[in-house]
Amino acid sequence: MTTATISRAVHRVEIHPTAGDPVALRIMHDADAIGVTLSAARTARVYLIEADLDDRQLESACVKLLADPVNERAVLGASPASATLIEIHPLPGVMDPVAASVRNALRDLFDIDAEVTTGVRYEFEGVTPGQADTLARRLLANPVVQAIHTEPFHPDELPKGHEHDSPITHVQIRDLDDPALEKLSRAAHLFLSLEEMRAIRDEYRTLEREPTAIELETLAQTWSEHCVHKTLKSTITYRSDLENDPIDWINRPGHTLNPDGSVTIHNLLKSTVAAATHELIEEGIDWTLSVFVDNAGIIAFDDDHAVCVKVETHNHPSAIEPYGGAATGIGGCIRDIIGTGMAAKPIASTDVFCVAHP
């Protein structure tokens, strides 16, 4: 009778494709676009699992969880590199959703608590280490959240969190005048209007204390254009330049015709786009199945299929993290498509890029 070896260690598992490598083909195409020609490329997913696993459990995890036996093979440890190697792993503390799923699955399979992190291994033929580094930084990694390694990453233990002292800080706002309020809004990246900053200052004067930094951040987030669509929900005044305006403003929902000829529109989105949509439905349009109700709008495609459409205003945090900001906007739309009805299937993304007037 043999006894399985159990060890609390960092187990490295590589998952290599066996029936073509579409990720490698894409990278070769993208590399060529930036002037780097690869003669060959190979990729593999990497899992680092720190847990009390015996050999049989580790092999079982590879077969049942990590690799698809139809078109993938698992390698325990680091396989020898036959070309220039690059590995991309998340930095400590960065969210790793795949690792979280593996961690939960290992708990279900073996009733163990494991620490897991993931990565991707790349091998490039026909390039120098310097060219491989260029590919890593321009195509493969986001240095804000990912680390670049030039050899297989297999630490003795995975990075652990540590205690961090976060003292409460208060922001002096009650005695600020208008220019100082505007300066604080910009310097603290609150991006609130002067009127909003005055409201915050006056409220804390009433409370007879200064706000904490996190309170200011919370107010700025809650009052942000992205979160509450202040412009779309706002009341605006509009004046037409046409001598004979064809629009009957008096009978438009949410519109008020003023004595000076200007028009006040109450709740811009509700009184224009939404109102016009509902009017068309009342007039007989029957292909709008669900509008302004669920996480996305739904229109009929044919008798059996519908199309869900979601657009999202998203101001990319381009000064710090442009790629992640764009991904957040895209991810929000995909999330809402999946969350429509009993769950729709995302099939395509659209993009509209707007810039300010020069």
Q: Using the predicted structure, report yes or no on whether residue 73 has a pLDDT greater than 70.
A: yes
Q: pTM for the whole thing?
A: 0.66
Under DSSP, the state recorded for 170 is B
Whether pLDDT at 3 is above 70: no
Give the whole-number percent of the chain exceeding pLDDT 70. 96
CA distances from 126 to 16, 22, 123, 132, 288 (A): 21, 19, 10, 10, 55
The per-residue pLDDT for 2 is 47
At residue 261, the pLDDT reads 86
Q: What is the pLDDT of residue 315?
A: 60
pLDDT > 90? residue 136: yes
Where is pLDDT greater, at 206 or 354?
A: 206
**Each residue of 21-37: pLDDT tens digit?**
999 999 999 999 999 99
What would the pLDDT profile of 77-103 be if each residue is shown by its tens digit?
Answer: 999 999 999 999 999 989 999 999 999
* Long-range contacts from 228-235, C-beta under 8 angstroms, 24+ separation: 229/269, 229/313, 231/268, 232/268, 232/269, 233/267, 233/268, 233/269, 233/270, 234/267, 234/268, 235/264, 235/265, 235/266, 235/267, 235/268
Secondary structure of residue 50 in the 3-state scheme:
strand
259-269 pLDDT, tens digit each: 988 999 999 99
What mean pLDDT is predicted for residues 109-116?
94
The pLDDT value given to residue 47: 98
Residues carrying an active site annotation: 226, 314
pLDDT of residue 1: 42
327 within 8 A of 351, measured Cβ to Cβ: no
pLDDT at 4 > cutoff 60: no
Higher pLDDT, 248 or 263: 263
Give the model confidence (pLDDT) of 157-191 as tens digits.
Answer: 998 877 788 899 999 999 999 999 999 999 999 99
**pLDDT at position 305 over 60:** yes
**Mean pLDDT over the full length of the chain:** 91
The distance of Cα 47 from the centroid of its chain, to the nearest Å, equals 22
Q: Residue 5's pLDDT is what? A: 56
Q: What is the DSSP string of 173-215?
A: -TT--HHHHHHHHHHTT----HHHHHHHHHHHHHHTSPPBHHH
Q: Report, in this order, helix, strand and coil percent for the chain, each rounded to 5.
A: 35, 20, 45
Chain-centre distance for alpha carbon 12: 28
Specify the pLDDT at position 182: 97
Residue 358: predicted pLDDT: 77
Q: What is the pLDDT of residue 240?
A: 84
Average pLDDT over residues 207-234: 92
The rounded distance, in Å, linking the Cα atoms of 288 and 294 is 13
* Phi/psi of residue 205, nearest 5 degrees: -65, -40
